[in-house]
Amino acid sequence: MKKYSILDKNFSVEDLRKLEENRLEKLAGEIRDHIINVTQKNGGHIAPSLGVVDLTIVLHYLYNTPEDKIIWDVGHQAYAHKIITNRAKEFETLREYGGISGFLKSKESKFDVYEAGHTSTSISAAAGFAISRKLSNKKNKIISIIGDGALTGGVAFEGLNLIGSLKEDVLIILNDNEMSIAPNVGGFSKYFNKMITNKIYLKTKKEVQKIMKNLKMGDNLIDFVERIEESLKNIVIKGAFFEDLGFEYFGPVDGHDINEMIDIINKIKNIDGPKLLHIYTQKGKGFEKAEKDPENFHGISPKKDKSENKNKKITKYTDVFSSEVYKIAKKDKEVVAITAAMPNGTGLKVIRENIPERYIDAGIAEQSAVITANALAKEGYKPFVAIYSTFLQRAFDQMIHDVALQNNPVKFFLDRAGVVGRDGPTHHGCFDISYLRLIPNIVSLAPKDSREMRAMINFMHKYSDGPITIRYPRGEAVKPFGEDKNYKKIKMGEGEILKEGEDVVFFALGRMVKEAYSVSEMLEEDGISAGVFNLRFIKPLDREKIIKLARSSRFIVTLEYGNMPGGVGEGINSILAENGISKKILNIGIPDEFVEHGQQQKLFKILGLDSESIYKRVKTWMND
């Protein structure tokens, strides 16, 4: 037998399949070490990935991947999959610009058969692959792995519903670790828990099956079995939820017992039709700190970021939101805080801990969270809904059909707006400016700095005419700057003139106001008089001041931290066109393409959004 090392450049998935079963545990240890070492340096989803190392080995050991398709839900737990599928060395570049992605990427490997980043898509994807397999007369296997958290997302159930009716050969593996990012919530979570812990149920089910097997026609035992079944009805019927949907249910099985998993998967592999295998695992398995605190070790920061910020007192936009919402909620009993499974990331943890009666975690169910908030607002409550920009995309229809159409005063806090960094294109919050601008009735804000953000949150709290949103980026908040004597006076639809200038005027939004301000100072040094207008509102735009300033300037530049199609730049262009103002206009923002993963500041620069790049671009453009 060839000696193996997972870091050996030539180690391949074929080598794994040649290993004796009793060597797999050692391999699991080696893979865990590699994951721990790399994530300590680069950051990343350490706990979810450590939890499924054993399962990943078993799947690649038993199945003929990539012909047999393994679909990972989210993909944040797929580090072992990457390492096993011939990327062990490259894994050292995890989440670096140009390096290995933190999620699945088809262009990275043919083993990454389906890309994700948002949860709960793996079951519907399996349905698509199963239909394709049938239409093309293929025989490959299809396996989806979904976490208990991801199974709180409605689309997962839509997928189950479809596969159950298709009756195709698909194996869904439910990886149950009782954790979403935070402890998992909701009825299903309790239900799974019961299935794992209810040993009586498991034992008795086996007993009943044994009795049934030995039963002969006309046997008096029929009465006896019926009585047992009757008394167990509740439990057995509950356990049969997946079976009623058309799946054969197996488990629960210890997801760290490689031999047991090999055993059961070998047994069920060739059973036709939809199957669900329930495994239970420990998030963070093999790394003590992560096992003890899986919530904080769900995803960790890169070492570099940690050491850079060690002695710095930084205030993040999330901190500003968190402290402000807490202050407001303490005083106002009508405030209800709502998250879709992200109490930590959004900063709502403080409400969970201090005002639990007015804290709702809807699960990974953005659509449901938005509808719930809408009904609460209708009843006179003040829902503060905190959802990342990227995840609110899931609830686009609810924003239109429920909230905006009924014009209820729901307050939305869109964290991670703009480029988030290492998570990459599935997570960048690039589209909210465009997708919210097109919806009637919704007022939207973006703060230029932390002080303005506080003022805006208080403005939102008092605003009761309809839905209102605010967007802010991931990470450190811009420190208060500018004259800004009137910062407390946020008035509906009014922007703020920060600086006047006749040569060029910058209409800047949110995070970009600071850059515009710096560029204006650089231009002043070149003798170019530059004005800066802080838009404050994405919608409604301050038409009056925009027209006035545009008329009094020779050049116009718009700046936003979001994708440009449908953005504020386009909004300003149309205001100017409507008013017959024809001047040279430059729209700056994120171009109409997906942005790769990498360090946040680096991406900001690559996109040309930093003041140096803008300055150079504007100077060239003015001279063209």
Ligand X SMILES: Cc1ncc(C[n+]2csc(CCOP(=O)(O)OP(=O)(O)O)c2C)c(N)n1
Task: Enumerate the known binding-site residues for Mg(2+).
Answer: 148, 177
From the CB of 37, what's the least distance to ligand DXP, in Å? 20
Interaction between residue 364 and ligand X (CB under 6 A): yes
Interaction between residue 101 and ligand X (CB under 6 A): no
By the 8 A CB rule, do 373 and 383 touch? yes
Q: Which CB atom, from 51 or from 589, has the smaller least distance to ligand X?
A: 51
Where is the binding site for thiamine diphosphate, in residues? Answer: 76, 117-119, 149-150, 177, 287, 366
Q: Extract the tokens encoding 557.
A: 């530049």
Q: Please identify, among the stretches 61-69, 143-151, 461-469, 602-610, the one whose residues bind Mg ion according to the rule CB under 5 A.
A: 143-151
Interaction between residue 179 and Mg ion (CB under 5 A): yes
Interaction between residue 74 and ligand DXP (CB under 6 A): yes
Interaction between residue 420 and ligand DXP (CB under 6 A): yes
Q: Please identify, among the stretches 34-42, 71-79, 469-477, 555-563, the one whose residues bind ligand X according to the rule CB under 6 A.
A: 71-79
Q: Which of the listed partners (Mg ion, ligand X, ligand DXP, none) does 571 bind, with a CB threshold of 5 to 8 Å by partner kind?
A: none
Interaction between residue 391 and ligand X (CB under 6 A): yes
Q: Is 462 exposed, middle or buried (0-12, 13-18, 19+ CB in 10 A)?
A: exposed
Residue the block writes with tokens 């079951």: 123
Interaction between residue 368 and ligand X (CB under 6 A): no
Q: CA nearest 478: which of 454, 456, 447, 506?
A: 447
Helix, strand, coil % (nearest 5) of the chain? 45, 15, 40
Interaction between residue 177 and ligand X (CB under 6 A): yes
From the CB of 122, what's the least distance to ligand X, in Å? 10
Q: Which CB atom, from 148 or from 402, has the smaller least distance to ligand X?
A: 148
Q: Is the peptide bond before 252 cis (omega within 30 degrees of 0)?
A: yes
Euclidean distance between CA atoms 518 and 130, whole angstroms: 55
Interaction between residue 76 and ligand DXP (CB under 6 A): yes
Interaction between residue 347 and ligand DXP (CB under 6 A): no
Interaction between residue 179 and ligand X (CB under 6 A): yes
By the 8 A CB rule, do 445 and 542 touch? no
Q: Is 217 exposed, middle or buried (0-12, 13-18, 19+ CB in 10 A)?
A: exposed
Query: How many other β-carbons are positioned within 10 Å of the β-carbon of residue 532?
Result: 29
Q: Which of 99, 147, 186, 299 is in the footprint of ligand DXP by CB under 6 A?
A: 299
Interaction between residue 474 and ligand X (CB under 6 A): no
Q: How far is CA 540 from CA 273, 440, 442, in A?
A: 54, 10, 9
Q: Which CB atom, from 193 or from 198, has the smaller least distance to Mg ion?
A: 193
Strand residue runs (E) in 161-226: 170-176
- Amino acid occupying residue 171: L
Q: Which CB atom, from 297 or from 555, has the smaller least distance to ligand DXP?
A: 297
Q: Is 265 exposed, middle or buried (0-12, 13-18, 19+ CB in 10 A)?
A: buried
- Amino acid occupying residue 549: L
Q: Which of the listed partners (ligand X, ligand DXP, Mg ion, none) does 364 bind, with a CB threshold of 5 to 8 Å by partner kind?
A: ligand X
Q: Is 331 exposed, middle or buried (0-12, 13-18, 19+ CB in 10 A)?
A: exposed
Interaction between residue 343 and ligand DXP (CB under 6 A): no
Euclidean distance between CA atoms 303 and 537, whole angstroms: 37
Q: Please identify, among the stretches 122-130, 141-149, 290-298, 546-554, the one whose residues bind Mg ion according to the rule CB under 5 A.
A: 141-149
Interaction between residue 147 and Mg ion (CB under 5 A): yes
Q: Which CB atom, from 174 or from 535, has the smaller least distance to ligand X?
A: 174
Q: Which CB atom, from 386 or from 490, has the smaller least distance to ligand DXP?
A: 386
Q: Which of 416, 448, 454, 539 is in the footprint of ligand DXP by CB under 6 A?
A: 416
Rg (CA), the chain: 27
Q: Extract the tokens encoding 268.
A: 């069920």
- Amino acid occupying residue 302: P
Q: Which CB atom, from 194 or from 616, has the smaller least distance to ligand X?
A: 194
Q: Which of 149, 274, 501, 589 is in the footprint of ligand X by CB under 6 A?
A: 149
Euclidean distance between CA atoms 570 and 575, whole angstroms: 9
Interaction between residue 439 and ligand X (CB under 6 A): no
Interaction between residue 256 and ligand DXP (CB under 6 A): no
**Nearest residue to ligand DXP, by Cβ distance, number only:** 345
Residue the block writes with tokens 């990343």: 44
Euclidean distance between CA atoms 251 and 569, whole angstroms: 55
From the CB of 295, what's the least distance to ligand DXP, in Å? 11
Q: Which residues pair with 483 in a beta bridge?
A: none
Interaction between residue 345 and ligand DXP (CB under 6 A): yes
Q: Extract the tokens encoding 46.
A: 């350490």
Spacing of C-alpha 169 from chain mean position: 29
From the CB of 100, what's the least distance to ligand X, in Å? 18
From the CB of 56, what's the least distance to ligand X, in Å? 12
- 337: which residues sit within 8 A by CB, 6+ positions away? 325, 329, 348, 351, 355, 358, 359, 360, 383, 384, 386
Q: Which CB atom, from 179 or from 541, has the smaller least distance to Mg ion?
A: 179
From the CB of 251, what's the least distance to ligand X, in Å? 16
Q: CA nearest 260: which of 236, 287, 278?
A: 278
Q: Which CB atom, from 85 or from 367, has the smaller least distance to ligand X?
A: 367
Q: What is the set of active-site residues? A: 283, 366, 394
Interaction between residue 79 and ligand X (CB under 6 A): no
Q: Which of the listed partners (ligand X, ligand DXP, Mg ion, none) does 51 bind, with a CB threshold of 5 to 8 Å by partner kind?
A: ligand X
Where is the binding site, in residues? Answer: 76, 117-119, 148-150, 177, 287, 366
Q: CA nearest 561: which of 492, 623, 498, 473?
A: 473
By the 8 A CB rule, do 414 and 510 touch? no
Write the interaction track for ligand DXP spanning residues 357-396; mark x where CB under 6 A is met and - where it is not. Answer: ----------------------------------------
Count CA atoms closer than 13 A to 138's CA, side-chain side. Answer: 13
Q: Which of the listed partners (ligand X, ligand DXP, Mg ion, none) does 456 bind, with a CB threshold of 5 to 8 Å by partner kind?
A: none
**# binding residues, ligand DXP (CB under 6 A):** 11
Q: How far is CA 12 from CA 36, 376, 474, in A?
A: 21, 54, 37
Euclidean distance between CA atoms 420 and 82, whole angstroms: 22
Q: Extract the tokens encoding 313.
A: 């007192």
Interaction between residue 73 and Mg ion (CB under 5 A): no
Q: Which residues pair with 44 in a beta bridge?
A: 300
Q: Please identify, among the stretches 51-59, 166-174, 357-365, 415-423, the one whose residues bind ligand DXP according to the rule CB under 6 A.
A: 415-423
From the CB of 575, what's the least distance to ligand DXP, in Å? 34
Residues within the interface to ligand X (CB under 6 A): 48, 51, 74, 76-77, 118-119, 147-150, 177, 179-181, 283, 340-342, 364, 391, 394
Binding-site ranges for ligand DXP (CB under 6 A): 45, 74, 76, 181, 298-299, 345, 416, 420, 423, 474
